[in-house]
Amino acid sequence: MDAWRDLNDCVILGIDPAIASIGFGVIQGDQALDYGVITTPANAPMYERLSQIRTDVQELCQMMKPDIVALEMPFFGRENTNATKVMRALGVIELALGDCGLTDLIFLHQSQVKAAVAQYGANKYEVKQAVMQIFKLPKPPSPDDSADGLAIAYAAQCGARANVA
Residue 145 to residue 75: CA distance in whole angstroms? 15
Amino acid symbol at 165? A
Catalytic residue among 56, 94, 145, 148: 145
Catalytic residue among 16, 56, 94, 148: 16
Active site residue 56: no
- Beta carbons within 8 Å of 16's beta carbon, 6+ residues apart: 22, 23, 24, 71, 72, 145, 148, 149, 152
Q: Compute how many other C-beta atoms are within 10 angstroms of the C-beta atom of residue 67.
A: 17
Active site residue 104: no
Catalytic residue among 56, 72, 94, 148: 72
Active site residue 72: yes
CB-CB contact of 12 with 26 (8 Å): yes
Please list the active-site residues: 16, 72, 145
